[in-house]
Amino acid sequence: MNRPDSAVGRLMATEAGHRPRADAQRNVERIVVAARTAIAEIGVDAGAHEIARRAGVGVGTFYRRVPSREALLEAVLDEVLTEIADVADRSLAAPEPWAGLCEFAAAFVRLRAESCGIGEALGGACGDALDQSLAGLRERIRLLVERAQAAGVMRTDLPWQDVPFLLAAAATGARTLGMRAGAQQWERNLRIILDGLRTTEPAPLPGTPPG
Residue 96 has pLDDT above 60, yes or no: yes
Which residues does residue 175 pair with via DSSP β-bridges, in sequence order?
Answer: 180
Of the chain, the percentage scoring pLDDT greater than 70 comes to 92
16 confidence band (pLDDT: 50, 70, 90): low
Question: Alpha-carbon distance 186 to 206, whole Å?
Answer: 10
Is 55 within 8 Å of 34 (Cβ atoms)? yes
What pTM, to 2 d.p., does this model score?
0.84
Identify the CATH number of the domain defined by range 7-71: 1.10.10
Q: Which CATH superfamily is domain 77-197 in?
A: Tetracycline Repressor, domain 2 (1.10.357.10)
The model's pLDDT over 138-194, given as tens digits with 9 standing for 90+, comes to 999 999 999 999 999 999 888 999 999 999 999 888 888 999 988 889 999 999 999
**Domain range list for the chain:** 7-71, 77-197
